[in-house]
Homo-oligomer: A and B are copies of this chain.
């Protein structure tokens, strides 16, 4: 049992808590002895003793004439030290983490996935049950490196329906789209390369690219697709190696690139001998087929990826990479070296659902449901003075603008205090130009409490502002 701590230990605990909760990160300068003594209500000598013990433990270090600093951790790669620290409320990684850790306890009207009851639970259970009759090796063995041929044939067929010419030989199964992009980044990038992303874009692209220590440049996304002039300018200025974007319904805006915009993008990247990773995880959400860069380019400079975590399951993880034949061999090697195998059984279960005849019905009904929720969410948000930048033709997202007088950061904090996690615009933006925006997921706005809490938080600002 813990003995009551003396004052010195209490000061040490306070410092340790600041560090553990990352309010003070590596190399942060601590308050001076006098400052902290005053702040905590202890004597200067108590704080001196506490600081000295923490120095002896290596938790902080003294720099002569400068004061005390949090020791850089043993680890080289610290997410918090890789880039200017963002305020948590808009830090993409912090938001992902909050949302993942909180689980069902929190309302998450801005998150990027459907509620579990929207996913085809019955089909999942049926496929899991029938997996029991699969050959034993499927339950026990490593998968083949590229993954089951039949599944790759199916993926090639699905790609054909998006006008993308692909053969099973140029496809490799992975455990998720995130993992696929990560593998490709390892394959294609070196530190200090420049990578273009849309502005705004899916916020985990930014967290991932931080890990790869590359220079990230955002290019404004318009209602017709990425801003071509800005894109061309960015290529000229930065000589980027790579452009990462999502296909079809843009995340977070819901906009859909026009065919002529797509053509210009492909022409520019081919001229610049740049590469593109086109992430099509929302492939099945669209009604009218949008142009894929991979279709125009023919998988030469464009690498196409996808997964089933948005329409089937985020738990049974399954994704894929389709790339030029030139690279598949090396990608397979890299996959073996870094993960050895994807999940054999998960892939078989996902394949079973995709081929049992239920998938199309599930998608059609999901899209109808989203349309209804899109309508009602727009209406409810309007009553709060929140309007979408554009009304998307399909999908789950609404990219919404709030009146300039609102502090969206403060709003996020107030909502968090009520166990609701928002998705503030600046988490999606390299350029941080969307401080008055919020992304909503219409499928996660069903609970009336969402609008209640939001209304209260807005009212709070009206009162104070």
Residues of A that sit less than 8 Å from B by CB: 20, 22, 73-80, 93, 96-97, 100-101, 103-104, 113, 116-117, 119, 121, 124-125, 128-129, 131-132, 136-145, 175-176, 178-179, 182, 186-190, 204, 207-208, 210-211, 273, 275, 313-317, 325-327, 329-330, 332-334, 336-341, 343-346
A400 vs chain B, min Cβ distance (A):
24
Please determine whether A113 and B128 come into contact, CB atoms closer than 8 angstroms.
no
Please determine whether A208 and B75 come into contact, CB atoms closer than 8 angstroms.
no
Chain copies in the assembled complex: 2
A79 vs chain B, min Cβ distance (A):
4
Please name all residues of chain B whose beta carbon is closer than 8 Å to the beta carbon of A179 when the two chains form the complex: 338-339
Which one of B125, B176, B343 lies within 8 Å of A132 (CB-CB)? Answer: B125
Please determine whether B178 and A175 come into contact, CB atoms closer than 8 angstroms.
no
Please determine whether B128 and A141 come into contact, CB atoms closer than 8 angstroms.
no
Q: 5 new A-B pairs (CB below 8 Å) besides A74-B275, A119-B140?
A: A75-B327, A77-B330, A100-B340, A124-B139, A175-B343
CA of A220 to CA of B415, assembled, Å = 58
Closest residue to A275 on the B side, CB-wise? B74
Please determine whether B145 and A76 come into contact, CB atoms closer than 8 angstroms.
no
A118 vs chain B, min Cβ distance (A):
9
CA of A77 to CA of B78, assembled, Å = 23
CA of A391 to CA of B137, assembled, Å = 30
Please determine whether B337 and A210 come into contact, CB atoms closer than 8 angstroms.
yes
28 contacts between A and B (CB under 8 A): A20-B329, A73-B330, A74-B273, A74-B275, A74-B327, A75-B327, A76-B187, A77-B186, A79-B334, A80-B330, A93-B337, A96-B340, A100-B336, A116-B139, A119-B140, A124-B139, A139-B313, A141-B314, A142-B314, A178-B339, A179-B338, A204-B336, A207-B333, A210-B337, A211-B338, A315-B344, A316-B343, A345-B346
A339 vs chain B, min Cβ distance (A):
5
Closest residue to A93 on the B side, CB-wise? B333
Which one of B77, B117, B317 lies within 8 Å of A341 (CB-CB)? Answer: B317
CA of A9 to CA of B170, assembled, Å = 23
A143 vs chain B, min Cβ distance (A):
7
Task: Take A75-B327, A100-B336 as given contacts and tell me if A315 and B22 are in contact as well, using a CB distance cutoff of 8 Å.
Answer: no
Which one of B100, B136, B187, B343 lies within 8 Å of A77 (CB-CB)? Answer: B187
Please determine whether A337 and B211 come into contact, CB atoms closer than 8 angstroms.
yes
Please name all residues of chain B whose beta carbon is closer than 8 Å to the beta carbon of A178 when the two chains form the complex: 338-340
Task: Take A73-B327, A75-B188, A316-B139 as given contacts and tell me if A101 and B145 are in contact as well, using a CB distance cutoff of 8 Å.
Answer: yes
CA of A128 to CA of B358, assembled, Å = 22
CA of A187 to CA of B80, assembled, Å = 13
Which one of B129, B330, B340 lies within 8 Å of A129 (CB-CB)? Answer: B129
Which one of B78, B79, B176, B189 lies within 8 Å of A76 (CB-CB)? Answer: B189
Please determine whether B121 and A139 come into contact, CB atoms closer than 8 angstroms.
yes
CA of A464 to CA of B91, assembled, Å = 68
CA of A140 to CA of B273, assembled, Å = 40
Please name all residues of chain B whose beta carbon is closer than 8 Å to the beta carbon of A117 when the two chains form the complex: 136
Which one of B144, B175, B190, B204 lies within 8 Å of A100 (CB-CB)? Answer: B144
Which one of B137, B187, B336 lies within 8 Å of A96 (CB-CB)? Answer: B336
Please determine whether A73 and B326 come into contact, CB atoms closer than 8 angstroms.
yes
| Interface pairs A-B: 5 shortest CB-CB | A315-B344, A116-B140, A207-B337, A79-B333, A119-B140
